[in-house]
Structure 1
Amino acid sequence: MRLCSIASGSSGNCIYVGDDDTHLLVDTGISKKRIEQGLHTLGIKGEELNGILITHEHVDHIQGLGVFSRKYGIPIYATRGTIEGIRCCTSLGKMPEGLLHDVPVDETFSLGGMSIRPFAISHDAKEPSGYRIENETKSVAVATDLGKYDEYTVAHLKDLNAVVLEANHDIHMLEVGPYPYPLKRRVAGDKGHLSNELSGRLLCDILHDNLQYVVLGHLSKENNYEELAYETVKLEVSIGDNPYKGEDIPMMVAKRDIVSDIISL
């Protein structure tokens, strides 16, 4: 199985997950051209995709969905609430008939050789979800845009081989930064985004010997930077109640405008 961040951040998100037989995108929050360029880096054509999984209807996760789907006709999967949000988003233009498929959280479905399980996340959208994706030998998950986590979240992220995990903001940078107070409260709230510290603590709860790679994603441009997210998450692992140290875990920070290295599991 392969995992690659085509784009990740508050300005746009698009993650590739696939293997030799099945190719999936999680979110299309960047332009069609950038999606195509990212897929070209992976040696994949748009028409070869088996499906697009959408986490929620905010523009940084669906910006390119209308143009991309009109060109390639790839089936789109999301919760019913997210599909309602997509249909209400006039900036996408008219979506092709028959492409939108609603998938309930906590119910597994198959695309190609992959099993996919949506799970609920806490965010200020209609019915947001993360995704756990497995083939016969490996499992990965995408978990961003979650203001808080609990035992349910941890259960869906157990026994992974790789994970894209939100490390959106540094708490101090958010507090003293340029955002107006209501937006600061939203970002830091239970339906907002996961801080670097909380990301590290969640990681502590899902660490195991076969977790091969961690990708920190959805960083805020105004309230975080790569080195700070990386070092904070590493520190939380090192001081957490677990047998690991931060340097034990292969980890990268996904960039907002550069395709990441391809992670092969």
Structure 2
Amino acid sequence: MNIINQNIQINNNTITLSMKREDLLHPFVSGNKFRKLKYNILKAKEHNYEKLITFGGAFSNHIAAVAFACQEAGIQSVGIIRGDELADKIEDNPTLLFAQNCGMKFEFVSREEYQNKTSESFISKLNYKYGNHYLLPEGGTNELAILGCEEILTNNDFHFDYICCAIGTGGTISGIINSSHSNQKIIGFPALKGDFLKDEIRKFAKNNNWELVTDYHFGGYGKITAELVDFINQFYMNTQIPLDPIYTGKMVYGVMNLLANNYFPNGSKILMIHTGGLQGIKGMNKLLEKKKMNKIVF
């Protein structure tokens, strides 16, 4: 695995800022998706499941990663996609087109129906239609995903005082919390509004050395502003590190803002986790182009 901790220059000689390049794990199943799928795919194969079913939206990193991972493992994949209006727009959607080319079959459902995807009636319909299958939740977070994410931190990372990562469903940060040392502080940056994720994280996290900073969601999940685009592009120019606009870009913006406001004590060693998600940039750039905004460079 070509994973490196890349030092990033900042205008503060007393603070060390580094990034763990989990986006380099795999060209198509990168970052936290590689970690989350590792043991789930192994279990599906061990139990001879021929089909894996999961859920996601139009530009879902999870959908793209599952499609490729299942193709590699010789398992059929089915994506339950939020938004029935997307059924005839696959060719215009880089994520869905990639997943389809990997062999994933789609079932498009209305946004209202999608909200009930974990209900007993919805699951029963899946069981009736698809028979014996391995069911993976949206975002891939379950106990096996946490197990995989616990492998993000290694012995080489225990000298860091702060570990920062973006949050979607809470699985990645839970794994990081579980494998961290008690003297480390884990800081999560949710891509969604609100702090309801605390309850989700508490389901899996074994330690209490963490907190959420909820000020950098830029309007909520999937939302983006010109300010964030400019930051991501400037960061790429300065470091040659591409950032996705949904997760890692917001986290890095938040860390830099906290640094500027003296949030971290002098002498702090900070590690940011790059959780991948770069495949979503193409889809986001299409939306930015329609809005006549600057596109993301990567």
TM above 0.5, yes or no, is no
Q: TM-score, normalised by structure 1?
A: 0.34
The structure whose residues are more often strand, as a share, is 1
